[in-house]
């Protein structure tokens, strides 16, 4: 799995690759492991801006799903793509709800 992650990040995220640790469940799926690695990359990319509030967290989750979909087009299974698309839609709905609540305040 380490070699797989290295290959993916070399192809897609080389500007943000740095050593670090990610924690995943011992039965995590490949997309879950990739998502944890993407969140590591986001912490490096955005530094202090990373998850300042719930709206930012939702935006970063959508971004991570977009990265996963991009990777999945080349290297993912159809079942993984469906799981990722569903997660993105869920986060997008949540983001839109938060954004609407913020506008009405």
How do residues 18-30 score in pLDDT, each as one tens digit? 666 777 788 888 8
Q: Average pLDDT of the chain? A: 78
Supply the pLDDT for residue 7. Answer: 60
Report which listed range, 22-26, 39-43, 88-92, is most confident: 88-92
What range defines the domain where residue 63 resides?
A: 2-104
Q: Over range 44-64, report the average pLDDT.
A: 80
pTM: 0.72
Domain count, the chain: 1
Instruction: Label residues 51-85 b or e (16+ Cβ within 10 Å = b).
Output: beeeeebbbbbbbbbebbbebbeeebeeebeebbe
């Amino acid at each position: 799995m380490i070699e797989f992650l290295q290959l993916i990040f070399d192809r897609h995220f080389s500007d943000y690759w740095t050593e670090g640790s990610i924690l995943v469940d011992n039965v995590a799926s490949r997309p879950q492991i990739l998502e944890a690695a993407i969140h590591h990359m986001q912490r490096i990319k955005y530094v202090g801006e990373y998850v300042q509030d719930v709206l930012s967290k939702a935006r970063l989750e959508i971004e991570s799903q977009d990265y996963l979909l991009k990777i999945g087009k080349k290297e993912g299974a159809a079942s993984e793509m469906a799981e990722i698309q569903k997660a993105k839609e869920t986060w997008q709905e949540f983001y839109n709800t938060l954004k609407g609540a913020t506008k009405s305040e």
